[in-house]
Structure 1
Amino acid sequence: MRFSDFKPVNLDDRDLFWGHYRQYPQVHSDNTFANMVCWNHYANYRFIEVDGSIVLSSTINGVTSFRMPIGPRNPDLIGDVIDLAAREGGDTPLWVLDPANEAWIRELYPDLPLHASRDFFDYIYRTEDLADLAGKGYATIRRQVNRFGREHVYTAEEITEENINEVWEFLVVWCEWRDCDSEPILAYEKEAVLFAVNHFFAIGLEGWIIRTGDTIGAISIIGRVNADMAVVHFEKALPETYPGIYKVITTETAAGLRKRYRYINRECDMGVPGLRESKTRYHPAYMVEVHHVTRDDLEAHCR
């Protein structure tokens, strides 16, 4: 296996990934097709098909890493990926994004250390919890949502071909408010979310809008992880203009998804303290753990 044989993930690969993921369901948001195609300008996702499996890579700031194969269990292919990661990867050349592959690599290489990457654990919530906000644990959030409803006449609606241009206009306003071009990560996020809106239906996304009167105050952009789980790829609002509106878009999105998905994945917190606190406050049902292998460990235990 050679890294030069990997090819970039692009829109034309949608059906290939959708078909493969129906057979081999994913659990972490970073492996979803929508995430890869929207963030490709930042992470340079590439893939190769080998023996019925897909092997993914990403290259960020010139440093490449690889992921466990997605497909039938094939110990020889794991060995090939490990060899490739050792040759071409950076300091953390191999990542494991799901519990099944974690268990398998521990079985194949019991002496190989797997290091938990807490900053990239995905938060998974029961959809009904986010929709209903029932119980004492959600009392504060529930009060904020109810207060918003008393102070604003608002509606929730799905994103459609008729209102997608308004979503674009809202995001332009949001980026101006956040000063997206002032920081590299915000600039990358701006490009990712605008790509998502520009190719919304081709990617297979859905989403919701919160309007106060005729004005959009918040939006969510949603993708599919597996038959039981949706993922919130983007959630944007203007909280200075509409205090509490982030809580409203979260619960209204869950209400719109509850008949089709048992769980909602709200992605990771990237180690940002405020984001971690916010995501924890919604009481996740569980986390999708992420582990990585260091170059030193690969060379010590797999060669």
Structure 2
Amino acid sequence: MLKQEDFSPVTLADRDFFEHHYTLYPQTHSDNTFTNMVCWNHIAQYRYAYINGNVILASTIAGVTRFRPPIGPRDPELMKDLIRFAIEIGDNTPLVLIDPETARWIKEIDSSLTLVPDRNHFEYVYLASDLAELPGKNYLKIRSQLNKFRKNCPNTIEPITAENRKDVMEFLVKWCEWKGCENDLVLAHEKEAVFFAIEHFTELPLRGLMIRVNSQVAAISLFERLNKDTALVHFEKGLPDCEGIYKAINRETAALLAGEVTYINRESDLGVHGLRDAKIRYHPHHMVEVCSLKSDPEMNKTLDLLGNVL
């Protein structure tokens, strides 16, 4: 039976392990990626267990622990054990980021379990060619803003490397001063995550792009290959000095990736109204849908039943 001692912290030293496992079981959601876990470890305290060829991920935020479904070969007994364990030590949402196929499998295991869509964590996936070319009337306004940027802000594009990483750090300091990271807990956590990504850029499977305006870094993006046909953009930051800078870094990143992948995952909106509107305006090709296991008074019965069969 699963226990707390089965789980170990996710660290930079685990990169090879996760890369090998995800080669066997490719991921579609950003939260499970190694980069995401180590960059956000300061707030989410990611841990993992490796059991019967499956990886089980857990995160603990503000004292609340939640689990992800096993990543590996289907093992009904392991899933039952995980559900029991998650209900036992978690809150009213003990199991999260359940993809539709796994959700159907869970319902086959126990039809009484309550699974609900988690819209705030649906991820937006776009055709790389759409983001690169901005075709047709759907992107008319975006093209106009991009042209205005190009006209008013002469710029150069370059990859992020170990050699220009110091410039990126200086840019991030300016970005945080503008956004007021020190006075916003969410932004403060994001600041720590993106700084970690840059500080450990060569240790992570990351690539990056920057836009310079008047020789100064004005925008950056950090991304990686998520699976065989999809790239994942982890971070995208820009300064307000040039209108349209976010449109520009989005387009330049897509132009670079369009020759390598079919799709670009730009993560979720976390329920933030303005962010949701911005992501919808780019017309996603599809969403990475997920749901969560919800506990209720009947869960105690489920817990007892699962305990009896294990």
Taking structure 2 as the reference length, the TM-score comes to 0.95
The answer to whether the aligner puts 1:87 opposite 2:80 as a matched pair is no
Deviation of 1:152 (Å): 1.7
- Residues 243, 224 of structure 1: alpha-carbon distance in 2 compared, 3 angstrom cutoff: same
Q: Percent same amino acid at aligned positions? A: 51
Instruction: Give, in whole Å, the separation in 1 of the partners of 2:292 and 2:79.
Output: 15
Instruction: Give, in whole Å, the separation in 1 of the partners of 2:22 and 2:100.
Output: 16
Find the counterpart in structure 2 of residue 228 from structure 1: 229
Find the counterpart in structure 2 of residue 102 from structure 1: 103
**CA deviation string 1:225-281 (max 9, x = no partner):** 212111111100012x11110000000000111111111111110111000000000
Indicate the SS of the match to 1:196. helix
Find the counterpart in structure 2 of residue 255 from structure 1: 255
Indicate the SS of the match to 2:55. strand
Find the counterpart in structure 2 of residue 291 from structure 1: 291
Alignment of 1:1-303 (within 5 A): 1-239=2-240, 241-296=241-296, 298-301=299-302, 303=305
Asked whether the 8 Å contact 1:27–1:288 carries over to 2, the reply is yes
- Residues 300, 122 of structure 1: alpha-carbon distance in 2 compared, 3 angstrom cutoff: farther
Number of residue equivalences: 302
Instruction: Give, in whole Å, the separation in 2 of the partners of 1:266 and 1:298.
Output: 35
Instruction: Give, in whole Å, the separation in 1 of the partners of 2:112 and 2:89.
Output: 22
Instruction: Give, in whole Å, the separation in 1 of the partners of 2:246 and 2:219.
Output: 7
Q: Which amino acid aligns with 1:5?
A: D
Indicate the SS of the match to 2:233. strand
Deviation of 1:223 (Å): 2.2
Asked whether the 8 Å contact 2:100–2:291 carries over to 1, the reply is no
- Residues 138, 183 of structure 1: alpha-carbon distance in 2 compared, 3 angstrom cutoff: same
The runs of 4+ residues in structure 1 deviating greater than 4 Å are none
| Gaps in structure 1 of 5+ consecutive residues | none
Deviation of 1:300 (Å): 4.6
The 10-residue stretch of structure 1 (222-231 or 68-77) with the greater mean CA deviation from structure 2: 222-231
| Gaps in structure 2 of 5+ consecutive residues | 306-310
Instruction: Give, in whole Å, the separation in 2 of the partners of 1:223 and 1:105.
Output: 30
Taking structure 1 as the reference length, the TM-score comes to 0.97
- Residues 287, 299 of structure 1: alpha-carbon distance in 2 compared, 3 angstrom cutoff: farther
Indicate the SS of the match to 2:271. coil
Q: Which amino acid aligns with 2:16?
A: D
What's the Cα RMSD here? Answer: 1.2
Deviation of 1:200 (Å): 0.7
Instruction: Give, in whole Å, the separation in 2 of the partners of 1:182 and 1:129.
Output: 36
